[in-house]
């Protein structure tokens, strides 16, 4: 099992906006293995999108098809101004034991 964290360090006032966007997106993704989290004790204004996959191969395949369904395309259109809402981001990939 692989856990992927996509981390966004948001500009003040934008963490909840990004979290809401990703929550809406998480409800339409086919794999339904996504959690949207905001940091309560670490850095301020941080949003983490946690996803689970059976393997790195499954993760790569999911990335190839991301945003392809009509429902996902509609939600992804709302992300067009997202780059203005965060300062930096990163990705962490973990293996669950």
Cβ–Cβ contacts within 10 Å for residue 97, how many?
A: 4
Phi, psi (degrees; rounded to nearest 5) at 87: -95, -45
**Long-range contacts at 76-79 (CB < 8 A, ≥ 24 apart):** 76/25, 78/21, 78/24, 79/21, 79/25
Domains of the chain: 2-95 (3.30.70.100)
By the 8 A CB rule, do 45 and 15 touch? yes
Cα angle for residues 39, 40, 42 (degrees, 5° grid): 65
The tens place of each residue's pLDDT in the chain, 97 residues long, gives 999 999 999 999 999 999 999 998 888 876 678 999 998 887 889 999 999 999 999 999 888 877 777 777 788 788 888 889 999 999 999 999 9
Phi and psi at residue 59, to the nearest 5°:
-60, -50
Average pLDDT, the chain: 88
């Amino acid at each position: 099992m692989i856990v992927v964290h996509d981390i966004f360090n948001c500009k003040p006032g934008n963490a909840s906006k990004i979290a809401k966007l990703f929550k809406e997106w998480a409800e339409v993704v086919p794999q339904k293995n996504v959690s949207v989290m905001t940091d309560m004790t670490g850095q301020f204004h941080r949003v983490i999108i946690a996803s689970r996959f059976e393997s790195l191969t499954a993760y790569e395949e999911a990335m190839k098809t991301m945003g392809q369904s009509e429902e996902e395309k509609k939600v992804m259109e709302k992300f067009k101004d997202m780059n203005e809402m965060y300062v930096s981001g990163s990705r962490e990939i973990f293996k669950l034991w």
